[in-house]
Structure 1
Amino acid sequence: MNSAVIVFPGSNCDRDLAVALETVIGRKPHMVWHRETELPAGVDFIGIPGGFSYGDYLRSGAMAARSPIMRAVANAAGRGVPVLGICNGFQVLTEAGLLPGALMRNSGLTFVCRPVHLKVENTQTLFTSQYRAGEEITIPVAHHDGNYQADSDTLARLEGEGRVAFRYSGEVNGSAHSIAGIINDAGNVLGMMPHPERAVEAAHGNTDGRRLFEGLLETVAA
């Protein structure tokens, strides 16, 4: 699988994601600077990492969503290329219009940094095929603006179409319907606040995030 990780000024989880991808895939991803206007030829997967792109000025992810490379990312997503946005990457995807809703300030107004329990809601996606429906997994979170919100019609559509991929098992940040991750209507774009790349190796404390990347590799390579 030929992968790419988008890097913005203020990204701080780009290396974490790159190491996770290399560990599972067996080859290093392309590290693509935000000012580039094209993706490397033949990219099969695009990762948008966590961090604080542009220092979270204006709104988290708002400025990064207007970076030149995001037009190429949107075009690739439109062609069916899988795109994963983690934490700040999820914020970027909503700001770019690739996913609905918005990530607001945590309801407790504090930065949350700890492992959390997630329920796997949909296993029929490119990203979740290695999990069991209803399975509870543990993935770390680290965010201040992870409170997912959308209007009632959007929330009803996400639920009705099975587009909630992951849900918090307990209270974490005030997210509507306890949503931790959603997919787009085509099923090839996933945004999630928890960090699966931080749960890939045993040294991380658990490997519940590894299966996300393994499932993606299996699906893309098929």
Structure 2
Amino acid sequence: MKVGVVTFPGSLDDGDARRAVRLAGAEPVALWHADADLRGVDAVVLPGGFSYGDYLRCGAIASFAPVMGEVVAGAQRGLPVLGICNGFQVLCESHLLPGALVRNDHQKFVCTDQRLRVESTATAWTSAFEAGAEITVPLKNGEGGFVADAETLDRLEGEGRVVFRYLGANPNGSLRDIAGIANERGNVVGLMPHPEHAVEAGYGPGTDGLGLFASVLGAGLAAVGA
């Protein structure tokens, strides 16, 4: 299985995402923001960082990159897409996910090992987890507060599309402690914490993040078998 990782100007965690893909047993494929070609990949990761320097709004300029036209079209066909931190912001700006990410409520950048609860395993990126599982992965953001109107929040909750929720103190003011969400189909997931920094023992807080990459590998193999 091939998993593409997009590099935008300002991406910081694209190398880490490719490493996570490799450790999960898939083949990482580097994708460039200016190329409207996904190179035949079976899934896509939009990594963290500061795409285009976070000018305008975080992720706003990246949403217009040539490669995103292909990512959006692929996602609409069912291609698994994961947005991590800045990648989550890009997914919201591209309207693949609802809501927006705004400046942390305490107005400070946060960097910590964050506990999360897996709220849904009905996505291409969480099927390897057990519902209700508690995991720990790093979190690092200055504009990570998830916001949406009450109707959207109720719909996300009612449709089981809240995928991850913060445990303990809310680190950035995200409404309803939401750390990650999915689209209706479950192939697109965005989360603010960084699972790619928790994929190998001795590096980071553990290996809890590897489950996301193992999940999409399993989903891809199941699709091939079908």
State the TM bucket, normalised to the shorter chain.
over 0.9
Deviation at 1:35, TM superposition (A): 0.6
SS of the residue 2:202 aligns to? helix
CA displacement at 1:23 relative to structure 2: 1.3
In the alignment, is the contact (CA less than 8 A) between 2:196 and 2:210 conserved in 1? Answer: yes
Is 1:162 aligned with 2:182?
no
The one-character-per-residue Cα deviations of 1:158-177 (angstroms, maximum 9, x if unpaired) are 00000000000121100001
SS at match of 1:203: coil
Among candidates 120, 145, 149, match of residue 122 of structure 1: 120
Aligned-residue Cα RMSD (Å) equals 0.9
Unaligned stretches of 5+ in structure 1? none
Look up the SS of the partner of 2:34 in the other structure.
coil
Q: How far 1:30 moved relative to its partner?
A: 1.5
Instruction: State the Cα distance separating 1:132 from its structure 2 match.
Output: 1.6
Structure 2 residue aligned with 1:132: 130
Q: What CA distance in whole angstroms lies between the structure 1 residues aligned with 2:65 and 2:130?
A: 37
State how far apart, in whole Å, the 2-side matches of 1:64 and 1:174 are: 24
Letter in 2 for 1:45: A
What residue in structure 1 maps to residue 146 of structure 2?
148
Structure 1 equivalent of residue 177 of structure 2: 178
Cα shift at 1:197: 0.5
- Take 1:80 and 1:135, find their aligned partners in 2: how far apart are those partners? 26
Of the structure 1 ranges 131-140 and 75-84, higher mean CA displacement relative to structure 2 is found in 131-140
Q: CA deviation at 1:88?
A: 0.2
Note the 1:55-74 alignment, pairs <5 A: 55-74=53-72
In the aligned structure 1, how far is the partner of 2:15 from the partner of 2:8?
Answer: 12
Q: Verify: 1:216 aligned to 2:209, yes or no.
A: no
Moved over 6 A (4+): none
Q: Which residue of 1 aligns with 2:91?
A: 93
Q: Structure 1: which amino acid aligns with 2:44?
A: I
| Contact persistence 2:2–2:26 (CA under 8 A) | no
* Aligned residues between the structures: 220
TM-score normalised according to structure 2 size: 0.95
Give 2:15's aligned amino acid.
R
Q: Distance in 1 between matches of 2:126 and 2:59?
A: 25
Give 1:181 shift. 0.3
Is there any run of 5+ residues in structure 2 with no aligned partner, and where? none
Task: Name the structure 2 match of 1:190.
Answer: 189
Which region of structure 1 is more displaced relative to structure 2, 130-139 or 83-92? 130-139
Q: Distance in 2 between matches of 1:134 and 1:38?
A: 37
Counterpart of 2:21 in structure 1: which amino acid?
Answer: L
**Aligned mate of 1:84, from 74, 82, 85:** 82
**C-alpha contact (below 8 Å) 2:63/2:93 kept by paired residues:** yes
Shift of the alpha carbon at 1:92? 0.3
